[in-house]
Amino acid sequence: MCDEEIYRPTERFCSPLMKTTKKTTKEERERERERERELSMTGYEEDIMEWFDGIAANAGQTQRETLRRILETNHGVEYLKRWIGDQGDELRNMDSEAIESLFTSLVPLSSHADVEPYIQRIADGDSSPILTQQPITMLSLSSGTTEGRPKYVPFTRHSSRTTLDIFKLAAAYRSRIYPIRAGGRILEFIYSSKQFKTKGGLTVGTATTHYFASEEFKSKQKSTKSFTCSPPEVVSSGDYKQTTYCHLLLGLIHWEQVEFVTSTFAYSIVHALSALEDLWEELCEDIREGKLSPTRVTEASMRKAVLEELKPNPSLASRMEKGCEELKRSNWLATVPKLWPNAKYVYSILTGSMQAYLKKLRHYSGELPLVSADYGSTESWIGVNLDPTSPPEEVTFTVIPTFSYFEFIPLKKTSTTFTTVEQLVAHDFIEAEPLPISRVKVGEQYEVVLTTFTGLYRQRLGDVVEVSGFYKGTPQLNFICRRKLILAVNIDKSTEKDLQLVVEKGSQVLSRSKAELVDFTSHANVVEHPGHYIIYWEIKGEVEESVLGECCREMDLSFLDHGYVLSRKCNSIGPLELRVVDRGTFKKILDYYIENGAAMSQYKMPRCTTNQVLLRILDACTVKRFLSTAYKSAS
């Protein structure tokens, strides 16, 4: 087995400073230690980038060897035997191209639904080699926003190792542009979820929860010489409100040491800094007194860990109070650089559904760069961001060909020139046969397919990507959208990206009133006739009803799908409805997801929902309704 072969840098570096026997002063020893840290960082960066250059240059062959290792490792498992029999000996005698051809010709493409019964058997305690030869003792829980409910995904040591490797690789490329001080701190808004056991005794939690508890997470901090502000007891508490309070408090205490601000998803940073607007006075009081609010933080182990880092600091409290008072007067513009002046950038996943939070994140970040984190899923990491200077809207992800075996289904849209409604019925992607990594083309769009060390074989991920170029021999991808259609009433087909663009158009109108869109979601109402789209908005600030009516009309006109436009013109889809909800409504939805097992670190607001509980929350909190006046003359 070759988990160890994912990345093993050469251990060529040995600092000569470690060999000295000369008597030195305390100051000289400290300078030596600092120099040693700097040299150690350089050695690790050069090693991992050299490793990546090697596998990227031979990406096609690396991929075939990765597939060979997956099949050799898991040969004889029940799922594979169903399609290719028990061909372990034969595989060892075949070249990698023949193995690739055999595998892709005999094993069918799959979805999570296909593998779900196998995973359920594992969860229930079946220890036979069903998907992997290695025992599966943990299951990851996806966010659940794609299919409306969380799903189990196998989690093994390989999952933690690849997470460590991609974090180290990305950190190496970031440090070339934004070098950080060795021994600095990271203000990480990271959260573990509550874990539970399946019927068969397997531990279930989010992938981030498993990783934060792993030795690899500790190793990542040591190897990159940067440490999170918060101790493990804060990260693992399972109560996101208490954890957020402690993250903010410790971040303010270590304000001079903070090198960058980060979280898994952009939402978590925006949520935390939004909480700071309400909590800053209490936080400053705790800093002044060297105490920890008994009402904000009640969890015993977390209190103990945080109190060990606290001592009365009136001067720091006064400094932070002055800073927050100034920020409040400027509507918290540039919060990050003003409170953490040594921070170099803000780092998080900023693509896909997180683009909705870019405007607010830029507001909080001021002129600090927003650096996009890497591309992956609960199933596997896929690509790394090699260019930290790329704006989030233009970022590309370079595929790492040792993590999984990747295939790409070519996607072509049918003709977009239509004259009748009937012609729109088949308006969707046309698929071709999946291609290996070496045969994708620049400018073409594909759906990603994964075969993993953790027991998933030719599984369709549902992500649509576009190949923007190549780094040496491995493709660079732009994330386009989730393929799944999220809004449909009739023959219309509106994706998450379509919705995002529509909401951006509407929020541009909203911004003229100096109001702010806090968050949004949508629902396709097919109960009424004609069916219609409903978009829910939470707004900060006062807005005249005439402006909201204009926002609604602008969004209705901004849906460009031909099926939607023609259906609106002939009134087979009714006017778009905008529903404005009370402040705090989307936090209620967050609480609902957290209470049902989601983790703050992986939380993504569903941009379209059919969940009846969510709809009841949204409808109960609706304070204003508007119907679009677009297309009236046509109907």
pLDDT score for 529: 76
* Nearest-angstrom CA–CA distance, 497 and 250: 37
Going along 472-585, which residue ranges are E strands? 474-482, 516-525, 532-540, 577-581
Residue 201's Cβ-count burial label (10 Å; 0-12, 13-18, 19+) is exposed
Q: Are the CB atoms for 121 and 200 separated by under 8 Å?
A: no
Neighbours of 249 (CB within 10 A): 26
Going along 377-528, which residue ranges are E strands? 381-384, 397-399, 405-413, 429-431, 435-436, 445-451, 459-471, 474-482, 516-525
| Helix/strand/coil for 290 | coil
Q: Which residues of 486-501 are buried (b: 16+ CB within 10 A; e: fewer)?
A: bbbbbbbbbbbbbbbe
What's the start-to-end Cα distance of the chain, in Å? 65
| Helix/strand/coil for 510 | helix
* Nearest-angstrom CA–CA distance, 264 and 190: 7
Instruction: Look up residue 541 and give its DSSP letter.
Output: S
* Nearest-angstrom CA–CA distance, 99 and 436: 13
Of 551, 571, 525, 561, whose CA–CA distance to 626 is shortest? Answer: 551
* Nearest-angstrom CA–CA distance, 238 and 188: 15
Summarize pLDDT for 277-334 with one digit per residue, the tens.
999 999 999 999 999 999 999 989 889 989 998 999 999 999 999 999 999 999 999 9
Q: Tell me the H-state helices in 143-292.
A: 157-177, 207-212, 215-224, 232-235, 240-253, 266-289
Quick one: the chain helix, strand, coil %, rounded to 5?
Answer: 45, 20, 35
* Nearest-angstrom CA–CA distance, 614 and 616: 5
The reply to whether omega before 530 is within 30° of 0 (cis) is yes
| Helix/strand/coil for 573 | coil
Q: Tell me the H-state helices in 214-257.
A: 215-224, 232-235, 240-253
Find the helix or strand (DSSP H, E) in which 376 lies. Answer: strand 375-376
* Nearest-angstrom CA–CA distance, 5 and 26: 41
User: Can you read off the two tokens belonging to residue 349?
Assistant: 């996943």
Q: Are the CB atoms for 475 and 458 separated by under 8 Å?
A: no
User: Can you read off the two tokens belonging to residue 179?
Assistant: 């070098």
pLDDT score for 95: 81
Summarize pLDDT for 185-196 with one digit per residue, the tens.
889 898 877 777
Under-50 pLDDT residues of the chain: 1-24, 26, 29, 32-41, 145-148, 415-427, 634-635
Q: What is the pTM of this model?
A: 0.75
pLDDT score for 599: 64
pLDDT score for 622: 92
Alpha-carbon distance values, 588 to 213, 431, 594 (Å): 28, 40, 10
